[in-house]
Amino acid sequence: MTETGAGRDGGLKGRLAEILKANAHRRDCERTGKAVSTGTQAKRWNVIFNAFETLRHELGYPLKNPDNFRLKHMLALVAYWEEKGLSPATIQNNISIMRLFAGWIGKRGMIPATESLVSSPEKGRRSYAAARDKSWSGAGVDVKGQLALVSREDPRVGMQMELELAFGLRAEEAWKLKPKYDVSAVPAEGGVVELLTVLSGTKGGRHRLVVIRSEEQRETLRRAVEMAGGGSMIPPGHTEKEWRNRYYWVLRKLGVTRKAMGATSHGLRHEFVNAQYKERLGIEPPVRGGGDTGLSRDEANREKRQLAEELGHSRTSIVTAYSGSKRSVKKPRLDWGVKPGSGSENKPDSGSECGTDGQPGATPDPQD
């Protein structure tokens, strides 16, 4: 078939650039008010450009006009990605981005659900649940001893890591915290509730509140106020970039890395989640061998929802990215062929990256 529209706008790459410039910044999902980050935009450019390069140079489809992208091209790409050993998460993300692209060129709904494209269930299935305990204690690290070692090297870094452990903060959130001003008390039934307000350095700019539940948390904040005074946890005289470099330099020097220690500083956030899971649900999390909670489903979901909110997320499923899950795996379908009109199991996706809960379908960030 003759390629239409080729050459009028600089050929394949020119037309791709035109399409991406007009669409790559668009929100992942119309149901969320979430803006698309520059990182996500860059990923879309890379995946789409690489897909067409693969079609041209590896798979024998020298498309001159990206508007002629079809389902047969998508099937060829998926088979190629499987052959190259890409992970299920990567394959699914690539398909999601190409599904978006199909919508941009007027072919929304052309690309069916991922399980109808892959050769077998495991090639298209990914799990948000943690497969192993990524906390420090899960890696066999003496948490208090290691934090003391960090504090001796740099008291400011050590204090920030204590805040990460006590409140489940990400590293940047701990740097930018102003402990003197980011604590409040609000009236509640039977008294008041103390809250830590996390305003700066949050993922996606999402502010959140963390309930202060223990004397250990209050003591950690007291010492943080003594150190920071009225400022943030970044010491005076340092820019954010300078402090970021200092922070990770100290960790590398002391071997607080996945390669050397089996866990990263982000493992302190995992430590917080696991501790809170046990406190609120009454058992160890599944990733540590916990079983049934003894709570009703509504009660368990309420606790998980609150914990997810304190982590800066709206979905309870994010908790499983830290705690693991006992949920049984669905029985896979036996028919994995693409058969138009064969039934609802092969119904094309909507063309967006939205999940069933209205959230973008991207893999959770490792630093979630």
Instruction: Quote the distance between the C-alpha of residue 115 and its chain's center.
Output: 22
Q: Which residue range forms the structural domain that includes residue 147?
A: 137-294
Place 37 in a pLDDT band, splitting at 50, 70 and 90. confident
Specify whether 290 is located in the same domain as 341.
Answer: no
Taking the C-alpha atoms of residue 113 and residue 1, their distance in angstroms, rounded to an integer, is 27
Residue 302 falls within a domain, yes or no? Answer: no
3-state secondary structure of 113: coil
pLDDT of residue 335: 37
Residue 207 falls within a domain, yes or no? Answer: yes
Residue 166 falls within a domain, yes or no? Answer: yes
Backbone dihedral region for residue 141 (phi beyond 0: left; psi -120 to 50: alpha; all else: beta): beta
CA distances from 61 to 56, 57, 178, 207 (A): 5, 8, 56, 47
Residue 117 falls within a domain, yes or no? Answer: yes
Asked if residues 327 and 297 have their Cβ atoms less than 8 Å apart, the reply is no
Specify whether 90 is located in the same domain as 236.
Answer: no
Specify whether 63 is located in the same domain as 193.
Answer: no
Neighbours of 118 (CB within 10 A): 22
Residue 323 falls within a domain, yes or no? Answer: no
pLDDT of residue 288: 85
pLDDT of residue 330: 35
Specify whether 40 is located in the same domain as 157.
Answer: no
Specify whether 43 is located in the same domain as 161.
Answer: no
Output phi, psi for 194, to 5 deg.
Answer: -90, 140
Specify whether 142 is located in the same domain as 118.
Answer: no
Nearest to 231 by CA among 177, 285, 301, 288: 177
Specify whether 147 is located in the same domain as 284.
Answer: yes
Mind listing the pLDDT tens digit for each residue in 20-31? 999 988 875 544
Count of structural domains within the chain = 2
Q: In what order do the strands lie in the sheet with 208-211?
A: 183-188, 191-198, 208-211
Specify whether 188 is located in the same domain as 268.
Answer: yes
Residue 47 CB partners (closer than 8 Å, separation 6+):
93, 94, 97, 98
Residue 20 CB partners (closer than 8 Å, separation 6+):
44, 45, 48
Specify whether 124 is located in the same domain as 51.
Answer: yes
Q: Which residue has the higher pLDDT, 146 or 336?
A: 146
Residue 225 CB partners (closer than 8 Å, separation 6+):
179, 180
Say what percent of the chain tops pLDDT 70. 80
**Angle made by CA atoms 107, 112, 113, in degrees to the nearest 5:** 140
Taking the C-alpha atoms of residue 327 and residue 107, their distance in angstroms, rounded to an integer, is 36
Residue 103 falls within a domain, yes or no? Answer: yes
pLDDT of residue 4: 42
Mind listing the pLDDT tens digit for each residue in 249-301? 999 999 999 999 999 999 999 999 999 999 998 888 888 888 777 788 889 88
Residue 311 falls within a domain, yes or no? Answer: no
The CATH number covering residue 184 comes to 1.10.443
This prediction has a pTM of 0.61
Specify whether 287 is located in the same domain as 186.
Answer: yes
Mind listing the pLDDT tens digit for each residue in 158-173? 999 999 999 999 999 9
Specify whether 122 is located in the same domain as 147.
Answer: no
Residue 308 falls within a domain, yes or no? Answer: no
Place 181 in a pLDDT band, splitting at 50, 70 and 90. very high
Specify whether 87 is located in the same domain as 167.
Answer: no
